[in-house]
Amino acid sequence: MTAPHATTPTLSPAVLLLMAVACGLCAGANYFNQPLLHSIAIGLGISDADASLTVTLAQLAYGAGLLLFVPLGDLLERRRLVVSLMVLASAGLILSASAQSLPQLTGGIIMTGLFSVAAQVLVPMAATLVPPAQSGRAVGLLMSGLLVGILISRTVAGVLSEVGGWTTVYWVGGATLLLCALVLARVLPASRNQHAEGGYLHQLRSLGRLLYLQPRLRTRGLMGGLMFGSLSVLFSTMALMLAGDPHRMDDATIGLIGLAGVAGALMASAAGRLADRGWGRHTTWAAVLIGIASWALLAWGGQSLIGFLVGLLMIDLALQGVHINNQMVIYALQPDARARLNACYMTLYFAGAAAGSALGAAAWQYGGWHAACGVGVVLAAASMLALLRDEVWARRALQPAG
């Protein structure tokens, strides 16, 4: 079955690059508050605990947006949908920037989280609007943009906070996202699923049916969630480890250390190219094994900064290898339902991240850095079991019916 969305490639390299920037802006917008919680608490006259709730609310809002709005990519004209979501996300950032109370800030953060899922409409849209032989490269480029946006957003927020206070990053982010949306409105081609069935409620109900009918959507979603959960164990505890003995780093230095993951994020494009060349299975296996092995270096990172940096690069590279190939597999399952397939997959993906963060925090309380590393390697190893199960379903799919 061929993709019914478009018959000719219509995305130039420049437009693809702009889409990658848009993905980074949308995704990064949900992480601005993380390094600013204490400043937000002082600025609004609230407790640090109340400020910390905004982090959870941002994650929950993003998850809700995945389920509520991403499936619309299979129903509505995508350019208009993407631009509308980005404009609304920009309005959420501006509301946060002008907040004078916790309820106002909460409203802005929830609004941004809900509508910043425009990035998850752009990714399957790119896969649809390029030749099939280039879809892996296109998806990899957009995912590189998305992941770089997440990784540098905390650093940018911290720098801008030093310049003009904690609201500065929200003003700048809101204006930049709005400008990007207006440019996309001019350069993106029109794109609509010509085989859309039913209305909005039908699209939502079909999510459960897709999960039921597509076992590889389940196994790939589980694999991606477990690997992202493994990385989230690291991100939820690395600041605590680096701030203690023997590293004794301050917040600014820890933020710069986190930028080492940008190199891994940029490798998402390379993973996409390998998938285009038919190396998806081998790349996935290599990525999973690298993810497991990275935890040995990360555990050593408790004493060695070099070991930590190499381990951080390895696990981030592993996640990109797994994630890009997962998306290539699920987009091929049912091309006329790519937006809904992506909604299902990304919900499992971010659920894994939330679970990994919670498990990492609990492990740190129980046994410090080595306990966290133990949880991280278990989650990475569990992703290999999901991959083994996925290969069973892949072999069955190749067998002739009857």
3-state secondary structure of 18: helix
Amino acid 16: pLDDT: 94
Q: How far does CA 200 lie from the centroid of its chain?
A: 24
Homologous superfamily of domain range 7-187: MFS general substrate transporter like domains (1.20.1250.20)
3-state secondary structure of 9: coil
Segment 155-189, tens digit of pLDDT: 888 888 888 889 999 999 999 999 999 999 999 99
Report phi then psi at 87, rounded to 5: -65, -40
Q: What is the mean pLDDT of the chain?
A: 88
Q: How far does CA 238 lie from the centroid of its chain?
A: 19
Q: Where are the domains of the chain?
A: 7-187, 213-397
Please report which residue ranges of 197-304 form alpha helices under DSSP H: 200-213, 215-243, 251-258, 261-266, 268-276, 280-300
Segment 107-120, tens digit of pLDDT: 999 999 999 999 99
Amino acid 286: pLDDT: 95
How large a percentage of the chain has pLDDT more than 70? Answer: 94
Q: Which of 68-82, 200-214, 243-257 has the lowest mean pLDDT?
A: 243-257
Segment 305-314, tens digit of pLDDT: 999 999 999 9
The architecture in CATH of the region 213-397 reads Up-down Bundle (1.20)
Classify residue 30 by its DSSP letter: G
How large a percentage of the chain has pLDDT more than 90? Answer: 52
Task: Output b/e per residue, 268-284; b: 16+ Cβ within 10 A.
Answer: bbbbbbbbbeeebeebb
Q: CB neighbours (10 Å) of residue 369?
A: 20
More confident residue, 393 or 278: 393
Residue with tokens 């991403």: 70
Classify residue 189 by its DSSP letter: P
> Do 21 and 142 contact (CB within 8 A), yes or no?
no
Amino acid 6: pLDDT: 40
User: Read out DSSP for 53-67?
Assistant: HHHHHHHHHHHHHHH
**Statement: residue 327 has pLDDT above 80:** yes
7-187 and 213-397 have identical folds: yes
Segment 21-53, tens digit of pLDDT: 999 999 999 988 877 877 888 899 988 778 878
